[in-house]
């Protein structure tokens, strides 16, 4: 019987559990491991399916990095995808690496380089009393792919949308086009709308990352409310991101926030270094800004910085038992929606 240690973690409400000590996984890089685990599915099913998981759960596996600059590497497993990057999951992983003494915690600041499937990211953790107070992520280069393009839909008419990359690919929509406020009571409505929008957007608009040839589709749908100015004079933006097969990100979504920063910069609605508060559907927040920008692949590329906090809520030892009748777990569509996005 194989015993596997897992820490239960959330970042701004979004679960991002962290698996440590799974030493029998030998990959040349997190990217290679991400592709292999997605193709095989057995470990994804073990961690994410019932009775050990559920559609609400994300899981990260610590692996050896390939980049000599990296302090650690990890693979991100979400309900239907192994994405190249995730902001909330990176904050969860950083918190576990430091608070559980897998990597050395320095006071008051610990700087790490982590290798995700999409590349190398820098994280800066503010530490106090053996705890990680917050984590700032210098994210992967982000960009707008198509701006202000018309999308024809069957049920919602013709709407203006944008596509962007912030560590994964996004369809960006205005919530007001659907007469919805980003509040918990509208969670199911956003998921229902996103099903049609993502299907139509992948057929009509599409997406192709300039260097990641396998990222040739739009992964997520982000709904946004207008940017406002809070009482401290800071820009604030509320959003919610629909994740396949049909759930909302409980956090403000680090990659989604990065994609929105790229759109704001392209439209000259934010300055380099100007901070913005990104707020989720449950009210949790990230602080974000653009570190720098450049022109690559005929696109305006920005380097987003996302800051948030994660909390370890528990730890588990999972048993991989050969006699278990459900070694791969199971899914029922009473809680795990059918994946009909595209």
CA angle 82, 141, 152 (to 5 degrees): 70
Active-site residue (options: 86, 90, 136, 142): 86
CA neighbor of 293 nearest in space, from 272, 270, 268: 272
> Residue written as tokens 């559609």?
55
Report residue 285 as tokens: 């927040």
> Residue written as tokens 């992948």?
202
CA distance from start to end of the chain: 38
Burial 83-111 (b: 16+ CB within 10 A, else e): bbbbbbbbbbbbbbbbbeebbebeeeebe
Phi and psi torsions of 243, nearest 5°: -110, 135
- E strand or H helix at 32: helix 30-40
Report residue 245 as tokens: 């097969």
Phi and psi torsions of 35, nearest 5°: -65, -45
How big, in percent rounded to 5, are the helix, strand and coil portions of the chain? 20, 40, 40
Active site residue 66: no
CA dihedral (162, 167, 168, 170) in degrees, to 10, reads -20
CA angle 231, 232, 236 (to 5 degrees): 80
CA neighbor of 44 nearest in space, from 17, 64, 71: 17
For 132, half-sphere exposure in the C-beta direction (CA atoms, 13 angstrom radius) is: 31
Catalytic site positions? 86
């Amino acid at each position: 019987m194989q015993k596997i240690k897992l820490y239960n973690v959330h970042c701004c409400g979004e679960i991002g559990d962290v698996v440590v000590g799974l030493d029998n996984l030998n990959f040349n890089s997190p990217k290679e491991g991400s592709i292999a685990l997605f193709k095989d599915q057995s470990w994804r099913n073990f961690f994410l399916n019932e009775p050990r998981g559920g559609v609400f759960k994300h899981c990260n596996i610590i692996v050896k990095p390939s980049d000599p600059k990296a302090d650690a590497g990890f693979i991100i497993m979400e309900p239907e995808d192994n994405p190249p990057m995730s902001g909330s999951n990176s904050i969860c992983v950083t918190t576990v690496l430091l608070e559980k003494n897998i990597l050395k915690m320095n006071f008051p600041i610990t700087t790490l380089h982590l290798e995700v499937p999409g590349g190398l990211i820098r994280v800066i953790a503010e530490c106090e009393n053996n705890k990680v107070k917050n984590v700032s992520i210098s994210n992967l280069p982000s960009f707008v792919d198509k701006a202000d393009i018309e999308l024809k839909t069957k049920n919602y008419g013709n709407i203006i949308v944008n596509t962007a990359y912030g560590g994964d690919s996004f369809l960006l929509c205005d919530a007001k086009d659907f007469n919805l406020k980003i509040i918990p009571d509208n969670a199911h409505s956003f998921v229902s709308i996103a099903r049609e929008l993502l299907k139509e957007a992948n057929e009509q608009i599409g997406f192709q990352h300039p260097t990641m040839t396998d990222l040739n589709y739009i992964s997520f749908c982000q709904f946004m409310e207008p940017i406002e100015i809070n009482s401290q004079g800071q820009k604030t933006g509320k959003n919610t991101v629909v994740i396949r097969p049909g759930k909302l990100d409980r956090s403000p979504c680090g990659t989604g926030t990065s994609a929105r920063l790229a759109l704001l910069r392209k439209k000259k609605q934010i300055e380099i270094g100007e901070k913005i508060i990104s707020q989720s559907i449950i009210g949790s927040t990230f602080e974000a800004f653009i570190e720098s920008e450049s022109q690559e692949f005929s696109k305006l590329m920005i380097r987003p910085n996302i800051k948030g906090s994660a909390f370890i809520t528990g730890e588990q030892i999972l048993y991989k038992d050969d006699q278990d009748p459900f070694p791969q777990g199971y899914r029922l569509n009473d809680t795990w929606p059918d994946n009909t996005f595209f």
